[in-house]
């Protein structure tokens, strides 16, 4: 089976050029002009960009959280991701204290098996850094190819780990060649502020944001960076939402510390005032960290443009408004945190980034695909368009416009946080390892066709 993509503009993190792409089997066999189409299926990509498939470095599918389970599992979540131009995700495998890492990982493999229509990897949560866990990590990195470890500095009494756990994880990650990720918010301060708000009768969704001040994120980000430096290790800060956190990452990078950062479309395009919507609708906009004052958006875009932040993840963590977000009526602390973004990550960053003139086309590819491949051990198999790379490709029409809506999205959830937003550009077709997943805007993929990606040890990108 071979496919020739003709007429498109090939875009990578470094180059933009007219070329044909020949796919043989699952990989790219040739890139050039006047390639031999003999026996190949020809895709006409005239007027379109050909991008490497999007890589979403941050998803939570089929995850128990906040007293419920996310609305999207690996089937609906990866299908929606494909519609949006994403061909690989890295999902967070949760662990419990006392549980073996092997057991936790096998539970996550079961969730994805037979369901994922795009490729996937796992990050592994570290709940405690005891001798057994630190020992088992050798197997996790070497045998499972799971080379990223997540520590939560927030969600007190639920997921939160202490500094000792984070520091020991950083030290061990350095030994093994893994990248440590942190949810950086000061969970102890937030715990105090939320209890105080509830005691004062402040129960509405907006208090979720008001009890998680930007400095709670800035402080934790700076602390994690300092711990990483003391461990001579590498750190990746997930879902950076505000100037205070950007500043800490910039300071760390200026010192030469290996600190990386990710933001999310919601922080780039939405703000805190959404939490004030009437009739409890503000609950749809509850994320941790929370949406911030609007001026932070340009700080985040600048940080992406200047390389202080490297990636945009969706932090896909969907809950229906009806029956799930509603659990928090009368008590904002019971609103499940998170939202449905996996499908619109690629499109919102293209439209608000490239179309709006904030980032270049090549920066877009870097942010949406290449840097995640490099930081998380998938490059150059994924994250670029090169001979020998997986033929994970997106054919994208930059001239199209569309309106984001729950009525037309493919996520298994009853609202879209970007409802009514006009975006420029549209995904036309998506190939995963040389096979169509989306063909002319129709899903033609297969649950179970997505493969688990064993990733290579961390190297400085």
Footprint of ligand URP (CB under 6 A): 60, 183, 239, 287-288, 315, 317, 337-338
Our finding on whether 72 is near Zn ion (CB under 5 A) is no
170 φψ region: left (φ > 0), alpha (ψ -120 to 50), beta (else): alpha
337 interface partner picked from Zn ion, ligand URP, none, CB below 5 to 8 A per type: ligand URP
177 CB burial (10 A radius; 0-12, 13-18, 19+): middle
Q: Is the dihedral of CA 123, 129, 130, 136 positive or negative?
A: positive
Q: How far is the CB of 176 from ligand URP (least distance, A)?
A: 23
DSSP 320-344: -TTTTGGGGTT-GGGSPP-B--TTT
Closer by beta carbon to Zn ion, 12 or else 324: 324
> Exposure string (b/e) for 88-102, b if CB count within 10 Å is 16 or more?
bbbbbbbbeeeeebe
Instruction: Give CA–CA dist 377/239, Å, rounded.
Output: 20
Residue 388 dihedral angles phi and psi, to the nearest 5°: 95, -15
Closer by beta carbon to ligand URP, 275 or else 317: 317
For the segment 153-212, give every residue that binds Zn ion (CB under 5 A): 183
Closer by beta carbon to ligand URP, 70 or else 435: 70
Our finding on whether 345 is near Zn ion (CB under 5 A) is no
Closer by beta carbon to ligand URP, 204 or else 262: 262
DSSP state, 446?
-
**CA–CA distance from 337 to each of 25, 199, 203 (Å)?**
41, 21, 15
Pairing of strands 86-93, 119-125: parallel
Query: Which residue has the CB atom at the shortest distance from Zn ion?
Result: 183
49 interface partner picked from Zn ion, ligand URP, none, CB below 5 to 8 A per type: none
Closer by beta carbon to ligand URP, 172 or else 284: 284
287 interface partner picked from Zn ion, ligand URP, none, CB below 5 to 8 A per type: ligand URP
Q: How far is the CB of 152 from ligand URP (least distance, A)?
A: 7
Q: How far is the CB of 122 from ligand URP (least distance, A)?
A: 14
Q: How far is the CB of 288 from ligand URP (least distance, A)?
A: 4
Tokens 């933001």 -> residue: 263
409 interface partner picked from Zn ion, ligand URP, none, CB below 5 to 8 A per type: none
Closer by beta carbon to ligand URP, 338 or else 450: 338
CA 186, 372, 168 angle in degrees (round to 5)? 45
For the segment 284-323, give every residue that binds Zn ion (CB under 5 A): 293, 315
Closer by beta carbon to Zn ion, 274 or else 429: 274
**Contact residues: Zn ion, CB under 5 A:** 183, 293, 315
């Amino acid at each position: 089976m071979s496919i020739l993509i003709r007429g498109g503009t090939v875009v990578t993190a470094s180059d933009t050029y007219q070329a044909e792409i020949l796919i043989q089997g699952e990989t790219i066999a040739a890139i050039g002009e006047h390639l031999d189409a003999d026996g190949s299926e020809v895709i006409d990509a005239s007027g379109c960009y050909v991008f490497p498939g999007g890589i979403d470095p941050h998803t939570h599918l089929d995850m128990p959280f906040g007293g419920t389970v996310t609305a999207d599992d690996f089937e609906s979540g990866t299908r929606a991701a494909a519609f949006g131009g994403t061909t690989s995700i890295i999902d967070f495998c949760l662990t419990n204290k006392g549980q073996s890492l092997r057991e936790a990982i096998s539970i996550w493999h079961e969730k994805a098996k037979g369901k994922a229509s795009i490729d996937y990897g796992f990050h592994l949560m570290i709940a405690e850094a005891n001798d057994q866990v630190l020992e088992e990590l050798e197997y996790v990195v070497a045998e499972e190819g799971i080379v990223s470890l997540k520590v939560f500095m927030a969600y007190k009494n639920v997921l939160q780990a202490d500094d000792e756990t984070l520091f020991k994880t950083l030290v061990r990650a350095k030994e093994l060649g893994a990248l440590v990720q942190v949810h950086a918010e000061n969970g102890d301060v937030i715990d105090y502020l939320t209890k105080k708000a509830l005691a004062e009768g402040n129960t509405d969704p907006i208090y979720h944001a008001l009890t998680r001040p930007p400095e709670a994120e800035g402080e934790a980000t700076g602390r994690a960076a300092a711990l990483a430096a003391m461990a001579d290790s590498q750190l990746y800060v997930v879902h950076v939402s505000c100037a205070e956190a950007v500043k800490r990452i910039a300071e760390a990078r200026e010192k030469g510390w290996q600190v990386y950062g990710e933001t999310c479309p919601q922080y780039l395009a939405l703000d805190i005032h959404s939490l004030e919507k009437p009739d409890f609708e503000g609950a749809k906009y509850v994320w941790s960290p929370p949406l911030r004052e609007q001026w932070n958006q340009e700080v985040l875009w600048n940080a992406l443009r200047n390389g202080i932040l490297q990636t945009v993840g969706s932090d896909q963590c969907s809950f229906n408004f009806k029956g799930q977000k509603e659990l928090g009526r009368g008590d904002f602390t019971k609103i499940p945190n998170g939202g449905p973004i996996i499908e619109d990550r690629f499109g919102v960053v293209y439209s608000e980034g490239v179309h709006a003139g904030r980032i270049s086309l090549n920066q877009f590819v870097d942010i949406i695909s290449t840097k995640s491949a490099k930081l998380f051990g998938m490059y150059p198999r994924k994250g670029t368009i090169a001979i020998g790379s997986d033929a994970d490709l997106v054919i994208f029409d930059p001239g199209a416009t569309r309106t984001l809506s729950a009525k037309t999205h493919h996520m298994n959830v009853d609202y879209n946080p970007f409802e009514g937003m006009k975006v420029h550009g549209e995904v036309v077709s998506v190939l995963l390892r040389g096979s169509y997943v989306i063909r002319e805007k129709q899903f033609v993929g297969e649950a179970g066709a997505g493969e688990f990606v064993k990733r290579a040890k961390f190297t400085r990108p």
